[in-house]
Amino acid sequence: MKRITLTLLIPLLVLTSQSLFAQNERITKHNDSSNTVILKDYQLKLAEIEKQHIADSLQKLKLEAQINALKTTDNLKKEELQKKIQELNSKEEKRLAQKKARIDSLRHTAQNFPVYGFFNDTLFNIYSNLGSFSARERAEAVSERIKKTANDFKFNRDSLVISQSESTVEINFGETILMSVSENDALWNNSTKLELAKKYQDIISNAILEYKSETSFTTLIKEIGLSLLVLSVLGAIIHYFKKLFKWTAIKIQQHENNRIKGIKIRDYTLFNAKQQVNALLSLNNVLKWLFILLAVYITLPILFGIFPWTKNFTTTLFGYVLNPLKKIVLAFWSYLPNLITIIVIIIVFRYILRGINFLKIEIQRGNLKISGFYPDWANPTYQIVRILVLAFMVIVIFPYLPGSDSPIFRGVSVFLGFLFTFGSAGSLSNIIAGLVLTYMRLFKIGDRVKIGEEVGDVIEKSMLVTRIRTIKNEIISIPNSTVMNSHTINYSSDAPDKGLILHTTVTIGYDVPWRNMHKALIDAAIKTEHILPDPAPFVLQTSLDDFYVSYQINAYTKEPNKQAFIYSNLHQNIQDCCNEVGIEILSPHYRAARDGNMTTIPSNYLDKNYKAPVFTVRNVNTKE
């Protein structure tokens, strides 16, 4: 009898070995899933282990056959054979340990394939192949058999039966094998074949019975009634929402010009009463539809959850809202340490800027004096230092910003830098020129200056332009780079201390004594408003031309911004003073010798007995 058993087992083990080698060939040829890729090395090792297991099993069967063939008196030979069998048992234990170690190393990386129930719910997972079937094919086949079994109206809890074969434990429904549990399945689940089969039996039975219960006619009637109730509640909620927001709209309109009087920010009216009412009505309408849509959105998952076929939609719909919220909360929680770091950095740099601003104010007021550093440099220097400090703060904060290490973030940063560099080339030259002008101290606000051909008072100095107001109240904006490239005259810089010399030139013929002309011009300057008596005005004879002498009157003033008014008064006084002493201001080419011509001095400056000279007529004897 033992020999017959041995004869039957040997072909079975050979077939098992062939199936293992066929399995290895299938793995090599059909690399159709990520699970095959991950488990390829494991399957090769497994084949080697199984090959050795088959050889050991055959050896063990031979030894057992030899023991049975021995005579009862041959104890020494029997002990020797028993010892060899024990060694084979030890090797079997080591083999199982090796397989389990390999499985444990792959447990977190290997892909599993789910066995699905009736509403796409996962019953359990399959990791390993069996014979010529891959893990994916096994999972799909088991799922299909379970669904067919549920259609049998004779099914009950005791319909599934467990039976053991040579190498697997099978779960049967009548003549149909729902699935086979192998040694590898048990190792993947840290269990034995029989225990795992009983576990799968319970899972499958409960899933089929639950499916039958949920799809029964009575249950469907209850579910339809419950869904109608939910829809009725939704209709009532929508109806009362509309009534509520209609009431709030009426209340808003009633309070126009009473409680709702508009929104003012100081003297600026952002919204009048009518505009504010319209804005509140629009907001009221938006809120109404938001609440209605929210009620519908909450109701849909409830409706889907009533029917077993649509339960998965419940999770999906809630997931559309909950998953983003969950991601936002988790992202914020993960980012919180970086956010706290950024806040601390900002606070530190803010107090640094406050300290620098305090030094600026002290220098501007003259309380803090630094050798070679002028008070008017304090504000522009503070602005430069402030920009540098803020730039350094941004550099420190940058690594803590969300997404700062992403390629998109870096690409945008490079693009913005490119635009700033090439798009502000002209502006940068003006900014640099503005900084240079500040530290050159060419002028300050309120100074009367001449830049190029433009004359006026400086009213603004910015990083880009300098603005002056002419005596005609014209505002001229001059780019700082133009100011740097032009000559600049500052009339106000020394005027408060040394005075500004105003000068004008009068041309008088040689018949007028120069001393009389000097006295007349100096008297005219002294009479002029805003001309200083000390230092005293003085006259320079700038040229001796063919028909006249050029007399230049020079006078000091401390009011450079009133030059036009002072020059006008000075010219008036020159006319008066010259007329008073009988000096005619004539065209340079006017002949001084007169013959019957009246003087050009106004009559109110002439003597009452003044008469125009007569014509002189002379007879010339032609003979003589």
| CATH (domain of 589) | 3.30.70.100
- Residue 169's identity, in one-letter code, is V
Q: Does one domain contain both 463 and 517? A: no
Statement: residue 56 has pLDDT above 80: no
Residue 48 pLDDT: 59
Q: Which domain holds residue 157?
A: 113-215
Mean pLDDT in residue range 534-557: 93
Nearest to 299 by CA among 286, 321, 317, 277: 317
pLDDT in tens, 229-273: 999 999 999 999 999 999 999 998 888 888 888 887 777 777 788
In a domain, 373, yes or no: no
pLDDT in tens, 281-312: 999 999 999 999 989 888 888 887 777 777 76
In a domain, 77, yes or no: yes
DSSP-derived secondary structure letter, 599: P
Q: Does one domain contain both 6 and 87? A: yes
Q: Does one domain contain both 484 and 503? A: no
Mean pLDDT in residue range 29-42: 50
160-164 sheet: strands from edge to edge: 160-164, 169-173, 176-181
Q: Which residues touch 561 (CB under 8 Å, ≥6 apart)?
A: 446, 448, 457, 492
Lowest mean pLDDT among 262-266, 340-344, 484-488, 518-522: 262-266
Last residue of a domain, one of 470, 490, 510: 490
How does residue 24 score in pLDDT terms, banded at 50, 70 and 90? very low
Residue 26 pLDDT: 45
DSSP-derived secondary structure letter, 377: G
Q: Among 74-78, 361-365, 533-537, 610-614, name the most confident range.
A: 533-537
Q: Does one domain contain both 224 and 256? A: yes
Q: Does one domain contain both 77 and 173? A: no
Q: What percent of the chain has pLDDT over 70?
A: 76
Residue 1 pLDDT: 38
CATH number of the CATH domain containing 477:
2.30.30.60
Q: Does one domain contain both 204 and 223? A: no
| Chain mean pLDDT for the chain | 79
Per the model's pLDDT, the better-predicted residue between 444 and 52 turns out to be 444
In a domain, 506, yes or no: yes
Residue 356's H or E segment, with its range, is helix 311-365
Statement: residue 64 has pLDDT above 70: no
In a domain, 421, yes or no: no
In a domain, 580, yes or no: yes
Mean pLDDT in residue range 459-469: 86
Q: Does one domain contain both 144 and 235? A: no
In a domain, 393, yes or no: no
Statement: residue 14 has pLDDT above 50: no
Per the model's pLDDT, the better-predicted residue between 67 and 475 turns out to be 475
Nearest to 81 by CA among 65, 95, 92, 94: 65
Residue 568 pLDDT: 94
Burial class (CB within 10 angstroms; exposed 0-12, middle 13-18, buried 19+) of 505:
exposed
CA dist., res. 182 & res. 111, Å (int): 18
pLDDT in tens, 164-209: 877 788 888 888 888 888 888 888 888 888 888 899 889 888 888 8
CA 248 to chain centre: 39
Helical H segments across 132-256, by residue range? 135-150, 183-188, 193-214, 217-254
Nearest to 289 by CA among 320, 324, 244: 244
Q: Does one domain contain both 156 and 89? A: no
Domains identified in the chain, total number? 5
Q: Does one domain contain both 94 and 21? A: yes
pLDDT in tens, 467-478: 999 989 999 998
Residue 469 pLDDT: 93
Q: Does one domain contain both 235 and 192? A: no
CA dist., res. 285 & res. 70, Å (int): 99
Q: Does one domain contain both 483 and 529? A: no
Statement: residue 607 has pLDDT above 80: no
pLDDT in tens, 391-441: 899 889 988 888 767 777 667 667 666 655 655 555 667 677 767 776 777
Last residue of a domain, one of 106, 124, 152: 106
Nearest to 549 by CA among 524, 515, 572: 515
3-class SS at 28?
Answer: helix
Burial class (CB within 10 angstroms; exposed 0-12, middle 13-18, buried 19+) of 180:
buried
Instruction: Count other Cβ atoms within 10 Å, centred on residue 370.
Output: 11
Burial class (CB within 10 angstroms; exposed 0-12, middle 13-18, buried 19+) of 578:
buried
Q: Does one domain contain both 478 and 510? A: no
Stated pTM of the model: 0.44
Residue 430 pLDDT: 66
Last residue of a domain, one of 215, 243, 278: 215
Under a CB-based contact definition with an 8 Å cutoff, are residues 562 and 546 in contact?
Answer: no
3-class SS at 458?
Answer: strand
In a domain, 422, yes or no: no
How does residue 29 score in pLDDT terms, banded at 50, 70 and 90? very low
Statement: residue 18 has pLDDT above 60: no
Residue 28 pLDDT: 39
Burial class (CB within 10 angstroms; exposed 0-12, middle 13-18, buried 19+) of 184:
buried
In a domain, 278, yes or no: yes
